[in-house]
Structure 1
Amino acid sequence: MKTKLKNRFRHGLAMTIPALALATALAGCATAPPKSDTADYQAYQQLNDPLEPTNRVFFKVNNTLDRYVMKPVAEGYVHITTQGIRNHVGDFASNIDEPARMLNFMAEGYPRDAGTSLVRFLVNSTVGIGGIFDPASALGYPETDTDFGLTLASWGVPPGPYLYLPAFGPSGVRDVWTYPFDWFATPMEAAPASAALSDFGYSETGIHLINTRAGLLSTIDQINATALDPYATFRSLYRQSRASQLQQIQQRDTRTWPDWYHQPAK
Structure 2
Amino acid sequence: MTKPVTQKSLMKKLGGIAAVAVILSGCASQPEAVDEVNDPLEGVNRAVYGFNELVDTWFMRPAATLYRAFLPPPVQEGIHNMLSNLSTPIVLLNDILQGEGERALNTASRFAINTTVGVLGFNDAAEDMGFKRHSEDFGQTLAVWGVGDGPYIVLPIFGPSSPRDTVGLVVDYFTDPINAWANNTNRDGFPTGRSVVSAVDTRAYYYDALEDIKKNSLDPYVAMRSFYMQRRQAEIMNSDAPKVKAAPSLSFDFEAPAPGDEEITEAR
Correspondence for 1:77:
67
Question: Partner residue of 2:162?
Answer: 172
Deviation string 1:11-41 (CA, Å, 9 cap, x unpaired) is: 8899x89x979x96xx89x9xxxxxxxxxxx
Q: Name whichever of 233-242 and 186-195 sits farther off.
A: 186-195
Deviation at 1:213, TM superposition (A): 0.5
1:133 aligns with 2:123: yes
Q: CA RMSD in A?
A: 2.9
- What is the CA–CA distance in structure 1 between the aligned matches of 2:11 and 2:82, rounded to whole Å? 21
- TM-score when scaled to structure 1? 0.77
- Report the equivalent of 1:118: 108
Report the residue type matching 1:200 in the other structure: F
- TM-score computed with the length of structure 2 as normaliser: 0.76
Q: SS of 1:174's equivalent?
A: helix
Offset at residue 199 of structure 1 (A):
2.3
Distance 1:164 1:103 in 2: 26
Runs of 4+ in 1 over 3 A off after TM superposition: 6-14
Q: 1:12 to 1:88 in 2, by over 3 A?
A: farther
Q: In structure 2, list runs of 5 or more residues that go unmatched.
A: 28-34, 241-268
Equivalent-residue separation in structure 2 for 1:103 and 1:123 (angstroms):
18
Q: What's the offset of the Cα at 1:186?
A: 2.3
Aligned length: 228
Q: CA deviation at 1:8?
A: 5.0
Match of 1:240 among 200, 207, 230: 230
Q: Report percent identity of matched pairs.
A: 32
The answer to whether the 8 A contact 1:96-1:187 is kept is no
1:199 counterpart residue number: 189
In structure 1, the partner of 2:143 is 153
1:187 aligns with 2:177: yes
Structure 2 matches for 1:1-266, cutoff 5 A?
1=1, 3-7=2-6, 46-191=36-181, 193-195=184-186, 197-248=187-238
> Displacement of 1:161 after TM fit?
0.3
Q: Which protein shows a greater Rg?
A: 1
Instruction: Flag the 1:180–1:133 CA change in 2: closer, same or farther, 3 A.
Output: same
- The Cα shift of 1:249 comes to 5.5
Structure with the largest fraction of helix? 1
Deviates more, 1:56-65 or 1:178-187: 178-187
